[in-house]
Amino acid sequence: MTTIAVVSAGLSEPSSSHLLADRLAAGVGAVLPVEVRTVHLRDVARDVADNLVTGFPSARLKAVVDDVVGADGLIAVTPTFNASYSGLFKSFVDVLEPESLAGKPVLIGATGGTERHSLVLDYALRPLFAYLKADVVPTGVYAASSDWGSPQGLSDRIDRASAELAGLLAGRAPAAPVDKFADVVPFDQLLAGKRHS
């Protein structure tokens, strides 16, 4: 079955970012049978900080990273802090191996106190995932506090974005990350200057 990883960087308890992430995942599930693995970065916040310092993930963080990198698709939601993604969200992205999200279908979401910061999606998240060579769906979903009390708007955006991710996933072969150990470049090719990209 198609797998999606859902990453939420929400810190509050309860968290509106978690709520948005769950709604997006449910939206995808309504269109396509998917297996969902949800990660709350708050639960591995220390592990992420330790990884920044030591250069390697703890066993717990490694399991989370493997889930995210190994999933066919990704839903990534961050609270807006100071007009950008949160530090924890970016730190998590920073501990992923280079190229590990390349080509992956991604749906981006953000929550915030004010609707005036909705462009965080297009000024902060979208360029980040563009750099990571992810395949980001056209619609991102921003939920300001006020959205949770207003009819329609938010639900429509969730449905549209989820359908876009489901559409991308439907036609696709399952994720197959390069395993540098399994298919080693033979020495004669190394000597000729060839490497894994």
Partner 1 sequence: MQFGVFTVGDVTPDPTTGRTPTEAERIKAMVAIALKAEEVGLDVFATGEHHNPPFVPSSPTTMLGYIAARTERLVLSTATTLITTNDPVKIAEDFAMLQHLADGRVDLMMGRGNTGPVYPWFGKDIRDGIDLAIENYHLLHRLWREDVVDWEGRHRTPLQSFTSTPRPLDGVPPFVWHGSIRSPEIAEQAAYYGDGFFANNIFWPKEHFIRLINLYRERYEHYGHGSAGQAVVGLGGQVFMRRNSQDAVREFRPYFDNAPVYGHGPSLEDFTSQTPLTVGSPQEVVEKTLSFRQHFGDYQRQLFLVDHAGLPLKTVLEQLDLLGEIVPVLRREFAAGRPAEVPDAPTHASLRQAAAQRKAEVR
Which residues of the chain form contacts with ligand FMN (CB under 6 A)?
A: 10-12, 15-17, 79-83, 111-114, 117
Stretch that binds partner 1, among 31-39, 44-52, 129-137, 163-171 (CB under 8 A): 44-52
Helices 45-54 and 59-70 pack at an angle, to 10 degrees, of: 100
186 binds partner 1 (CB under 8 A): yes
178 binds partner 1 (CB under 8 A): no
Which of residues 1, 14, 53, 173 is near partner 1 by CB under 8 A?
Answer: 53
Strand ranges in 45-178 using DSSP code E only, listed in sequence order: 73-81, 84-85, 105-112, 135-136, 141-144
Q: How far is the CB of 44 from partner 1 (least distance, A)?
A: 13
Q: How far is the CB of 153 from ligand FMN (least distance, A)?
A: 16
Report the SS3 class of residue 7.
strand
Q: Which is nearer to partner 1, 31 or 96 (CB)?
A: 96
Query: In this structure, which long-range contacts are made by residues 91-98, counting pairs with CB atoms below 8 Å and at least 24 apart in sequence?
Result: 91/48, 91/49, 91/52, 92/7, 92/9, 92/41, 92/44, 92/48, 93/128, 93/132, 94/52, 95/48, 95/51, 95/52, 95/57, 95/61, 95/65, 96/65, 96/68, 96/69, 97/69
Which of residues 54, 82, 152, 197 is near partner 1 by CB under 8 A?
Answer: 54
49 binds partner 1 (CB under 8 A): yes
Report the SS3 class of residue 140.
coil
14 binds partner 1 (CB under 8 A): no
- Closest-by-Cβ residue to ligand FMN is 10
Q: Given the rule CB under 8 A, which residues bind partner 1?
A: 49-50, 52-56, 58-59, 62, 180-181, 184-187, 190-191, 193, 195
